[in-house]
Chains A and B, each alone.
Chain A
Amino acid sequence: AQSVTQPDIHITVSEGASLELRCNYSYGATPYLFWYVQSPGQGLQLLLKYFSGDTLVQGIKGFEAEFKRSQSSFNLRKPSVHWSDAAEYFCAVGPNTGTASKLTFGTGTRLQVTL
C-alpha cells in the first residue's frame, strides 16, 4: 500500500529565507508525486507534479521539488519565501499504473512566515 510521511508538522521561516519541506513516500514502484497547497478553509491547489523524466520539477509560485528514488523522497523547496506562502502544504502519492487512481496524502506541514 502507498503511504506518505511529512515529518515536519509545523515550520516557521523568516520572509526571504529559503524553505525545504520534506516528503517521504512508500510505494513499490515509481509513483506519481504531487505537492498541494491549502490556505485556511480553501481548496487544494496543485503546486507541481512528478510523473517521470527529469527528477527536478518546477512548479508555480517559484516552488520546485526533487524526486530522489534512492531516498524515496520528494522534497519541496523555494529559495526565498514570501509572507503569502504561509499555508498548509500536502505531499501526495498516486500509483503509476497508467490509469487514474486515488491519491494518498501526507498529514501536511503548516508553514508560518515571519516578517
Chain B
Amino acid sequence: AAGVIQSPRHLIKEKRETATLKCYPIPRHDTVYWYQQGPGQDPQFLISFYEKMQSDKGSIPDRFSAQQFSDYHSELNMSSLELGDSALYFCASSSPRGRNGYTFGSGTRLTVV
C-alpha cells in the first residue's frame, strides 16, 4: 500500500540558510499535518492543511511557512535556520474525518550546523 513519502530523508544546512521539506500524502488523503520532533521529545504539531487551505496552526515559528498544492503534496519552508531547528520533521496525512488514522511518513532529519 502507498505510504506518506517525505523528501529528503536527511538534510544538513548551515545557520541562516533555508530548507524546503516535501511531503506526498497517501492518495485520496486530503489533510496533511506537519510535526517537529526534537531529540528525546514527543512530536509537536506545527501546521495542517485541508483541501489546500491551512486548517490549524500550532507552535510554528514565523520563520517557517508551508502550503499544500493542487496535487495535495505539501512543502514546509524554513528560513534563517537556527541550531535549535535541528530535529526530525514528520508529515502525516489522513482521510476525511481522520477515521482511518493518521499515517506518518518516515520523516526528514534536519541538522543545522
Tell me if A115 is interfacial: C-beta within 8 Å of chain B: no
How many of A's residues come within 8 Å of B, CB to CB? 24
Tell me if A12 is interfacial: C-beta within 8 Å of chain B: no
Alpha-carbon distance between A41 and B101 when the two chains are bound, in angstroms = 22
Alpha-carbon distance between A106 and B103 when the two chains are bound, in angstroms = 17
- A interface, over-half SS: loop
Number of CB contacts from chain A to chain B under 8 A: 64
> What is the 8 Å Cβ interface bit string for chain A, positions 103-115, against chain B (1 contact, 0 not)?
1111110000000
Residues of B within 8 A of A (CB): 30-31, 33, 41-45, 48, 50, 55-56, 58, 88, 90, 92, 94-99, 101-107, 109
Residues of A within 8 A of B (CB): 32, 34, 36, 41-46, 49, 51, 90, 94, 98-108
